[in-house]
Amino acid sequence: MMRTCYFLLFLLWACIFHEIHSSPSPKRTNMYLQAERIMGQSKDHGKALHRSKRGWMWNQFFLLEEYTGPDTQYVGKLHTDQDKGDGNLKYILTGDGAGSLFVIDENTGDIHAAKKLDREEKSLYILRAKAIDRKTGRQVEPESEFIIKIHDINDNEPKFTKDIYTASVPEKSVVGTSVIQVTATDADDANYGNSAKVVYSILQGQPYFSVDPETGVIKTALPDMSRENREQYQVVIQAKDMGGQMGGLSGTTTVNITLTDVNDNPPRFPQSTYQFSTLESAPLGTSLGRIKANDPDVGENAEIEYSIADSDGSDMFDIITDKDTQEGIITVKKQLDFEKKTLYTLKVEATNTHPDPRFFYMGSFKDAALVKVYVEDIDEPPVFSILSNLIEVDEDAKEGSIIGQVIAQDPDAAKNMIKYSLDRHTDLDRIFNIHSGNGSIFVSKTLDREAAPWHNLTVIATEMSNPKQSTQAPIFIRILDINDHAPEFAKYYETFVCENAKAGQITQQEL
């Protein structure tokens, strides 16, 4: 509609000046006055009309771009006061597009556009005009410069700087949080009408997001959007020129928006109780099993630290965190004993290592579960209960005399019977023996301290129901001396004495 109005106005101007030079006075005079008013060149109407030689009448023309009419588009008329209308003058046009884009009627000075023009390619053309006397070839006016301006029509739709935008915004963001700004440009003339006035609107992505119609800033429109419920959004934004009015041209772009994670979820155990079992003989550090608390967050927000709260068995077991799987591994901390305790109940806690203070109101960032550990019995070897490994006995002890006793017990609940024996490698001469049923050690042969003051024995206790289960203990026997030997001379002595020796006289001395 606007394009048509401008075109009709230009036609009106052209018709006025065409009539000025083709109509007799006074009609011609009135048209000159009308043209002068349009161009801001009106005279004092109280005076008689008198036109001095002003030279060229026009120095600027206007033309609409993208003209698609059946005829060539009329631009305007070049005219000089030297033209008497007798056809003696010839008009010549030179400069930008002369002869190709713009043609002039050399007799009348009428200019037409020979082709469709695009303002976005070139918005104005500078041309020069000459008026030449056909007879003399003399230039009747100095060469003058003319401008043809191309007026814009709305022939370009807004175009975004990107076909696809990528953006992210933290989940749980407050309404109105800025996400990204999209920008569309319009090649039409921003200084002419509303052809380049762009307004943004959202075609897809509501009610989650909104867009500022003037700036193109996309913002969150819903509170508490959760990444765990939905992570990806595809938003389609439209840019429409003509201020968004009907008939304007439009372009669209797609914005892929990702909700980034915040630590708004605590870890949660999927069950309240776990059960594990282990042999009482498990070495320290043995892994009993794994438990895992689930956290729907990602990255460092899902990192978990496990611990055992003060509870039954907290000193017997430990728990470490597997950083790769975020599992808690329960391990043996102290040696277990089935006979002392068969069941431990642990309180295991799972805590986020990077809690977000903004979401404390949602509850604690830890969870707890009970872990029951059953200790299983194993068949253990007998255990000696010896107050002292030293036995002292007089060397004159009679054969069969009991000199001591060892006691061993089966630590298992079965309390199997124990059989005692001596390792004969430690008593090759079989000087001692042991009662297989009660562990009494007795003398089998005569003792002689002077021959062997010490005897080192090894006692063996063996379960009668399982001979593989046996235990050894050392016994040290010290033989005590008794006065069982009279003095003896080292050799036979022979001496001589005089017959007259006095009483008390030394006859011989051994050194």
State yes or no: pLDDT of 57 exceeds 70.
no
How far is Cα 182 from Cα 235, in angstroms, rounded to an integer?
Answer: 11
pLDDT digits (tens, 9 = 90+) for 263-291: 988 999 999 999 999 999 999 999 999 99
State yes or no: pLDDT of 21 exceeds 50.
no
Domains of the chain (ranges; CATH) run 2-40+54-151 (2.60.40.60), 159-260 (2.60.40.60), 273-376 (2.60.40.60), 383-480 (2.60.40.60)
Helix axes 2-22, 27-38, angle to 10 degrees: 140
Q: What is the pTM of this model?
A: 0.58
351 sits in the region (left: phi over 0; alpha: psi -120 to 50; else beta) called: beta
Contact 75, 94 (CB under 8 A): no
Residue 151 has a pLDDT of: 72
Residue 486 has a pLDDT of: 67
100 sits in the region (left: phi over 0; alpha: psi -120 to 50; else beta) called: alpha
DSSP summary character for residue 302: G
pLDDT band for position 48 (cuts 50, 70, 90): very low
State yes or no: pLDDT of 406 exceeds 90.
yes
Average the pLDDT over 291-317 and give the result.
92
Contact 251, 239 (CB under 8 A): yes
State yes or no: pLDDT of 7 exceeds 60.
no
Residue 363 has a pLDDT of: 52
State yes or no: pLDDT of 16 exceeds 50.
no
- Mode of pairing for the β-strands spanning 232-240 and 250-260: antiparallel
Long-range pairs for 84-93 at CB < 8 Å and ≥24 separation? 85/21, 87/134, 88/133, 88/134, 88/135, 89/131, 89/132, 89/133, 89/134, 89/140, 90/131, 90/132, 90/133, 90/134, 91/129, 91/130, 91/131, 92/129, 92/130, 92/131, 92/132, 93/127, 93/128, 93/129
pLDDT band for position 360 (cuts 50, 70, 90): low
Contact 296, 228 (CB under 8 A): yes
Percentage of residues in the chain having pLDDT higher than 90: 49
With a CB cutoff of 8 Å and minimum separation 6, the contacts of 369 are: 269, 271, 272, 273, 274, 291, 293, 347, 348, 350
Instruction: Name the most confidently modeled range: 37-41, 76-80, 393-397, 472-476.
Output: 472-476
Residue 269 has a pLDDT of: 97
Q: What is the mean pLDDT of the chain?
A: 82
Average the pLDDT over 32-37 and give the result.
33
For residue 78, which of 87, 67, 69, 90 has the smallest C-alpha distance? 90
Of 76 and 334, the structure prediction assigns the larger pLDDT to: 334
pLDDT band for position 399 (cuts 50, 70, 90): very high
Residue where the block lists tokens 């569309």: 184
pLDDT band for position 146 (cuts 50, 70, 90): confident
Residue 148 has a pLDDT of: 82
Residue 508 has a pLDDT of: 66
Of 163 and 72, the structure prediction assigns the larger pLDDT to: 163
